Amino acid sequence: MEQKKQESWWHRITRKYRLSVMHEDTLSESWHVRLSWISVFTAFTLMFLLTVALLSVLIIYTPIRQILPGYSEDLRQGLVENTARVDSLQTTMEVQQRYLDVLKGVMSGEVSTDTVQPLDSLEAVMREQLLEAKNEATEEFLAQYENKERSSLQLFDIQETTPVYTFFRPAHGVILQGYDPQNSVYGISLRTADNENLTAVLAGVVVHIDYEIDNSYTIILQHATYLSVYRHAQRVLKHVGESVKAGESIAIAQAEPIFYFELWQNGHSINPEEVIAF
């Protein structure tokens, strides 16, 4: 009985049906086709696969992919590079145009050429030898002057000057919570825009990247005697050990725009607002 039901089901899906197109006036058959359920399913499946393949080719090999999420960074980088090339080409064209203008003026007689007076080569060599020669009196004077300056410099202690750093702002935003070490708050919290770029405050090296339990990243940069800590990053753009420049993008903030930043110097936390203009 079960075999009979199985044969009848297969017979139903493979049974041929005739689809005819009749002429309205003469009622004569103009066109017909024989179809079955399995042939209709196969045809629709092939059409679906063909449509998916065509859409994939259009997205991969045409500029349509630029409007999809995830390709904005590549588009932005391309725009920056093209802008730099255009500026370079414009500068080169201006220099060449100035050169052609000067050359045109010289050929037309509007600009006078520089006058060159030839010198005898032997006279030039002798003059150079005379200028470089030092007599005994000159050498004695220089020796006395050097000894005098050396003794005077020993009276002063030469102290190394502390380098002055220019800090970049790590992100644009409004400060929600300030620096409060008494309550174990060693940094500041900022409310930023969605997908805000997080930038390096100084030139340095990425020394640590950690993935937190709240689906965010913590990034630590080493800058000479300073250490900067970035928390609640959604996407990291650098790797551990990679060097970064001051003001260079290192990560993207979370969609919920709460960004936390710390700044340390020689193992002690400092108030970022004292050295950075937010």
Domain boundary assignment for the chain: 2-49, 173-274
Spatial contact of 252 and 195, defined as CB atoms under 8 Å apart: yes
Q: How far apart are alpha carbons 83 and 71 in whole angstroms?
A: 18
Residue 162 pLDDT:
58
Q: How far apart are alpha carbons 238 and 242 in whole angstroms?
A: 7
Residues 6+ apart with CB under 8 A from 209: 217, 218, 219, 220, 236, 238, 239, 240
Q: What is the mean pLDDT of residues 162-184?
A: 85
Residue 261 pLDDT:
93
Residue 26 pLDDT:
79
With cut-offs at 50, 70 and 90, classify the pLDDT of residue 59. confident
With cut-offs at 50, 70 and 90, classify the pLDDT of residue 106. confident
With cut-offs at 50, 70 and 90, classify the pLDDT of residue 115. very low
Q: How far apart are alpha carbons 200 and 214 in whole angstroms?
A: 23
Residue 73 reports pLDDT greater than 50: yes
> Which one is predicted more confidently, 156 or 126?
126
Spatial contact of 129 and 123, defined as CB atoms under 8 Å apart: no
Architecture of domain 173-274: Distorted Sandwich (2.70)
With cut-offs at 50, 70 and 90, classify the pLDDT of residue 117. very low
Spatial contact of 265 and 228, defined as CB atoms under 8 Å apart: no
The CA-atom distances, in angstroms, between 91 and each of 85, 88, 114, 176, 188 are: 10, 5, 26, 45, 44
Q: Please state, as a whole number, how many other Cβ atoms lie within 10 Å of the Cβ of residue 244.
A: 19
Residue 218 reports pLDDT greater than 90: yes
Spatial contact of 224 and 265, defined as CB atoms under 8 Å apart: no
Residue 5 pLDDT:
53
Residue 39 pLDDT:
84
Per-residue model confidence as pLDDT tens digits over 186-206: 999 988 888 888 999 999 999
